[in-house]
Structure 1
Amino acid sequence: MVFIDAIEVPGLGNRSYLAGGANGAVVIDPPRDIDRVLETASRRGVRITHVAETHVHNDYVTGGLELARVTGAAYLVPGGARVSYRRIPVADGDRTVIDAALVLRALATPGHTPHHTAYVLEEAGEPVAAFTGGSLLIGTVGRPDLVEPGLTERLARAQHASAHRLADELPDETAVLPTHGFGSFCSSAQAEGEATTIGKERTTNDALVKDADTFVADLLAGLDDIPAYYAHMGPLNARGPEPVDLMPPAVADAHEIAERLAAGEWVVDLRSRVAFADGHVVGSFNFEADGQLATQLAWLIPWGKSVTLLAESAEQLAGAQRELVRVGVDRPAAAATGSPADWVCEGERLRSFPRATFADLAAAGADGERVVLDVRRDSERARARIEGSLHMPLHELRARIRQIPSGTVWVHCAGGMRAAIAASLLDAAGRDVVAIDDGFDSARAAGLPVMESRP
């Protein structure tokens, strides 16, 4: 009997899959922390015989090479991918026996990357599911602009053709199981729901309901910013990632934390934005462990920069390490657990800053000494903005921080998480800041002058 288990990677907005039968299983697009995959297979009591990549990933470090090494599984990688390690190159139409009547058929689906390959799981010759990676997603498709700017339009057209190939070759009841689309920036839009089929996508997916020219024009117009760390993921995956080391980092005391801050290293406080605002080490930055830690920190930190982590507990620290290795931030220089009082030297004071709502901003009234700073992305601001606000996307803030006029900075995003990160960056730079911890939809209700774009 065939089974398919989804392995969620919520911090990155991705999914991996374990699929097979009684005597063998395949893992599709595994995360770097392969212990979760091995635990899933152990619970199933099944042996992993194959590991398959749909493409060389741009948004995370794969665990495929290490998983294949540890299990002795055959490692299937699209033949067009340029990689530096031994693997079984997969070509369009290749069929791999997974277990008895269970076969994995490769289907070339270029678009997200030139070599992208989907895999159709067939039981007794009948399609059961399509592992579509970054091609056909739920209601959308994977981005075509992550490989090379000059290829973007060509790959967008390839995405349209690949989506139609999947729809033309597979029955309506075939489950569509993508890797991206659950919050990943590899998706051209947020997934619409948690599950889908070929039949559903025929009537809802832009790639299948729009003609090629309209689809490509709309897709290219809607592309958003690319996280900076993506530039490092593809080359790292092509070289072959090193095994993960999740051993606890060296413990830093208050003096070492101070020394690392003085040396210009990053000290990252993983606590909630509420706790951080109430009191924190001067110069530290706040990236909530329960937020989009891996994506946001990897996007903002200079690649290869030393980072020290401050956490409430060993469990919070371990969770953060796991998130960060998935994007190539492998070993924290040091770490400390406890509370801010444990992280400062005797006689040093903690810093704090106020949090507020949009109603508080409206109640404060017009003030020439106040700066309203919007750190949302360009696409978000294009839909609606507070009149008179200054715009700096969060990922540009550190480079442009000197451009912010004098005065108290009231910083906002769409919901509060990015505003908290921005507030910590501004606070570390010595600015007076108020973090607006509120949903942007509340801005108009609070009486603020919200300018909305016309459809």
Structure 2
Amino acid sequence: MSFPEPVTLVDKGLGNTSYLVDLGDGRALAVDPCRDLRAMRDALSARGLRVAFGADTHLHADFLSGARQLASTDSASVLASAAGDRKFDHTGLRDGDEIDLGGLRLRALGTPGHTDEHLSYLLLDGDRPVGVFTGGSLLVGAVARTDLVDPARTEELARAQYRSVRRLLELPDEVAVWPTHGAGSFCSAPAGAERTSTIGAERAGNPVMRARDEDAFVTELIDSLGTYPPYFHRLGEANRRGPALLPRKLHIPAMTPPAVAAVQAAGATILDVRPVPSFAAAHPTGALSIPLRPAFVSWLGWLAAHDRPIVVVREPDQDLDEVLWQAAKIGYENIVGELAGGIDAWTAASLPSISMALTEASPNPGIRVLDIRQRAEYQAGHVPGAVHIELGDIAEAADRLADAPTVVMCGHGERAMGAASILAGHGLTQVSVLDGGPEEWAEANGQRLESGP
């Protein structure tokens, strides 16, 4: 290969990968850049590159694209499907169209399925294909879900996905596979998978390729589909219109505790991003717990409204930029401020606060066990008799739950604390959070985990 391997920029929270290709003359191609361009800018600076092209494989549902931002700040040319009907300047491509990158060429391949207008991009060095950016089509060990455009069209798009993947697998074995969606994505990538692969490896080892025919492929794909955050319904159209341009530095004001209490009374959400033990010790009454970590962004988009003001509570050593940029990636521009002085200032002002019991696994046969993990996690192994309600459904289900002694569990405690904070907001007063997971609880209670529904 006469050019360096693409730089992979992994967003562990969203489970996605953006790519930078060094074009050899100080310019670079960015594929599926995210709106949070900090890591990409660091990579560009370290290599002395500037982005000349920003290519999107599809209208993303799980993050806002950074391609329009790169066009504005870096004078990059945006490459995208002509069928996407984007409402901002771009070069619209159709199946078979090619772009001269200056020595390398990029060929658009129509690969509908994940979305209608989905393109993969084949990178050619002369006439030799060296790699293909597959976006949400062929993934490592999987293919992407097909129910995001319209649930009524899931089967239709699954059949299109079958044909698209088969087309990609006709490429030579040595061609690299560079997908966007990867482990951690709600777009159906398996946990623990590698981020990149080759056509030969996927032809030989991708489980969905072992389906005996198209019907079996469609059945297997549809049966594997789990739930996904509600913001997925909005971002495709937001990417079509073009995300709003952002400054290099995001900023929110510090608000006094009385000011925060006033906006909360008017309908704002107090979002507490502190670690689980800190939230358990004390937090503003009614606050929503979503600890700041890589998965923060997905749960923000699942649990907090995008159209109500949000005020952040954090520890002094937590990075406010990280909170704001993670939120911006999924279009949450409704964070109006942060609590000045944090929880200490709140309690000093004698404003309402509560604690949440954080419990170790111990014998407790009479307590209700509430498992709030995803369906696949629950079915892989759960405490006998556990009530299963996914975290994303807790708010809707809370009013149906009797106020009884309850321990909430997930894998480690972060998601469980989010669920507990929602339950407390609905008036349940006997809730505790397991510091640990189902294995610890089952062992302490002399049980074995059960699998299945």
Report the TM-score range of the alignment, normalised by the length of the smaller protein. Answer: over 0.9
Gaps in structure 1 of 5+ consecutive residues: none
The offset of 1:186, in angstroms, is 1.6
Q: In 2 relative to 1, CA 93–252 (structure 1 residues): closer, same or farther, beyond 3 Å? A: same
| Structure 2 match to 1:68 | 71
| Structure 2 match to 1:372 | 369
Does structure 1 conserve the Cα–Cα contact (< 8 Å) formed by 2:256 and 2:340?
no
Matches within 5 A, 1:223-238: 223-238=225-240
| Structure 1 match to 2:275 | 272
| Structure 2 match to 1:298 | 301
The offset of 1:451, in angstroms, is 6.2
TM-score w.r.t. the length of structure 2 is 0.93
| Structure 2 match to 1:309 | 312
Matches within 5 A, 1:189-338: 189-190=190-191, 192-211=193-212, 212-245=214-247, 246-313=249-316, 315-336=318-339, 338=341
Aligned length: 447
Q: In 2 relative to 1, CA 289–451 (structure 1 residues): closer, same or farther, beyond 3 Å? A: closer
Does structure 2 conserve the Cα–Cα contact (< 8 Å) formed by 1:20 and 1:98?
no
Amino acid at match of 1:402: D
Does structure 1 conserve the Cα–Cα contact (< 8 Å) formed by 2:177 and 2:197?
yes
| Structure 1 match to 2:21 | 19
In structure 2, C-alpha distance between the alignment counterparts of 1:236 and 1:313, rounded to whole Å:
33
| Structure 1 match to 2:55 | 52
| Structure 1 match to 2:356 | 353
In structure 2, C-alpha distance between the alignment counterparts of 1:32 and 1:395, rounded to whole Å:
24
In structure 2, C-alpha distance between the alignment counterparts of 1:96 and 1:315, rounded to whole Å:
43
Q: In 2 relative to 1, CA 264–331 (structure 1 residues): closer, same or farther, beyond 3 Å? A: closer
TM-score w.r.t. the length of structure 1 is 0.93
Q: Deviations over 1:48-106 (max 9, x none)?
A: 22111100001111111121222222211112113222311111111111122x11111
Q: In 2 relative to 1, CA 308–349 (structure 1 residues): closer, same or farther, beyond 3 Å? A: closer
In structure 1, C-alpha distance between the alignment counterparts of 2:423 and 2:301, rounded to whole Å:
18
* Corresponding residue SS for 1:156: helix
| Structure 2 match to 1:80 | 83
Does structure 2 conserve the Cα–Cα contact (< 8 Å) formed by 1:31 and 1:63?
yes
The offset of 1:453, in angstroms, is 4.0
Amino acid at match of 2:371: D
Q: In 2 relative to 1, CA 179–204 (structure 1 residues): closer, same or farther, beyond 3 Å? A: same
Q: In 2 relative to 1, CA 371–445 (structure 1 residues): closer, same or farther, beyond 3 Å? A: closer
Q: In 2 relative to 1, CA 60–76 (structure 1 residues): closer, same or farther, beyond 3 Å? A: same
In structure 2, C-alpha distance between the alignment counterparts of 1:376 and 1:394, rounded to whole Å:
6
User: Aligned-pair RMSD on alpha carbons?
Assistant: 2.0
Amino acid at match of 1:195: T
In structure 2, C-alpha distance between the alignment counterparts of 1:44 and 1:354, rounded to whole Å:
49
* Aligned partner (choices 25, 28, 31) of residue 28 of structure 1: 31
* Corresponding residue SS for 2:382: strand
| Structure 1 match to 2:139 | 137
Q: Deviations over 1:105-151 (max 9, x none)?
A: 11111111111111111113212221110011110011111001122
| Structure 1 match to 2:411 | 414
The offset of 1:201, in angstroms, is 0.7
Amino acid at match of 2:245: P
In structure 1, C-alpha distance between the alignment counterparts of 2:204 and 2:260, rounded to whole Å:
56
| Structure 2 match to 1:385 | 382
Does structure 2 conserve the Cα–Cα contact (< 8 Å) formed by 1:31 and 1:64?
yes
| Structure 1 match to 2:109 | 107
The percentage of counterpart residues that share the same residue type is: 33
In structure 2, C-alpha distance between the alignment counterparts of 1:281 and 1:371, rounded to whole Å:
26
